[in-house]
Structure 1
Amino acid sequence: MRIGKRIIKWFLYFLLIHITYILVSLILSSITVDKIVTNESSEKLIYLSTNGVHLDLILPIENVDSFVLSGLKYKKNEKYLSFGWGDENFYINTPTWDDLTFKNAFSAVFLKSSTLIHITRYKHKYSDWVAIKVNESELKKLNNYLFNTFKTDKNRKKIILENKGYSSTDDFYKSKGSYSAFKTCNTWVNTGFKKSGLKSALWTPFDFGLINKYK
Structure 2
Amino acid sequence: MLKRTLKLSGKVLLGIVLFLVVYGLAAYACSRITIEREKDAKEEIAIYIKTNGVHTDIVVPVRSEQMDWSKEVKYAFTGLKDTNCQYLALGWGDKGFYLETPEWKDLKFSVAFKAAFGLSTTAVHATFYKQIRENSTCRKINISKEQYARLVTHVVNSFQRDKDGHFVHIDTKANYGMTDAFYEATGRYSLFYTCNTWANSALKRCGQRSCLWAILDKGIFAKYE
Normalising by the smaller structure, the TM-score range is over 0.9
Which of 156, 162, 167 is matched with 2:177 structurally?
Answer: 167
Q: Which amino acid aligns with 1:99?
A: D
The offset of 1:193, in angstroms, is 0.9
| Structure 2, gaps ≥5 residues long | 76-81
Aligned residues: 214
For 1:46-195, list aligned pairs within 5 A: 46-63=47-64, 65-66=66-67, 68-74=69-75, 75-128=82-135, 129-164=138-173, 165-195=175-205
The offset of 1:68, in angstroms, is 3.9
The offset of 1:63, in angstroms, is 4.2
Q: Which amino acid aligns with 2:48?
A: Y
Q: Note the alpha carbon deviations across 1:69-108, whole angstroms, 9 max, x for none.
A: 3221223211211100011112110122221222211111
State the identity as a percent: 36
RMSD, matched Cα: 1.6
Alignment correspondent of 2:5:
3
Q: Note the alpha carbon deviations across 1:163-186, whole angstroms, 9 max, x for none.
A: 342222110001111111111100
SS of 1:62 mapped into structure 2: coil
The offset of 1:66, in angstroms, is 3.1
Alignment correspondent of 2:78:
none
SS of 1:52 mapped into structure 2: coil
Alignment partners' CA distance in 2, 1:198 and 1:63: 19
For 1:36-55, list aligned pairs within 5 A: 36-38=38-40, 40-55=41-56
SS of 1:212 mapped into structure 2: helix
Alignment partners' CA distance in 1, 2:208 and 2:65: 17
Which of 32, 35, 39 is matched with 2:34 structurally?
Answer: 32
Q: Which amino acid aligns with 2:63?
A: E
- The alignment's TM-score, normalised by the length of structure 2, stands at 0.89
Does 2:209 correspond to 1:199?
yes
**Greater Cα offset, 4-13 or 170-179:** 4-13
Alignment partners' CA distance in 2, 1:65 and 1:112: 35
The offset of 1:202, in angstroms, is 0.8
Indicate conservation of the 8 Å contact 2:62/2:69, yes or no.
Answer: no
Q: Which amino acid aligns with 1:6?
A: L
Indicate conservation of the 8 Å contact 1:68/1:147, yes or no.
Answer: no
Alignment partners' CA distance in 1, 2:11 and 2:59: 46
Q: Note the alpha carbon deviations across 1:99-135, whole angstroms, 9 max, x for none.
A: 1222211111114221100001112224431111111
| Structure 1, gaps ≥5 residues long | none
Q: Which amino acid aligns with 2:218?
A: F
Alignment partners' CA distance in 1, 2:186 and 2:66: 19
Task: From the superposition, tell whether residues 207 and 25 of structure 1 become closer, same or farther in structure 2 (CA, over 3 Å).
Answer: same
SS of 1:42 mapped into structure 2: coil
Alignment correspondent of 2:79:
none
Task: From the superposition, tell whether residues 99 and 64 of structure 1 become closer, same or farther in structure 2 (CA, over 3 Å).
Answer: farther
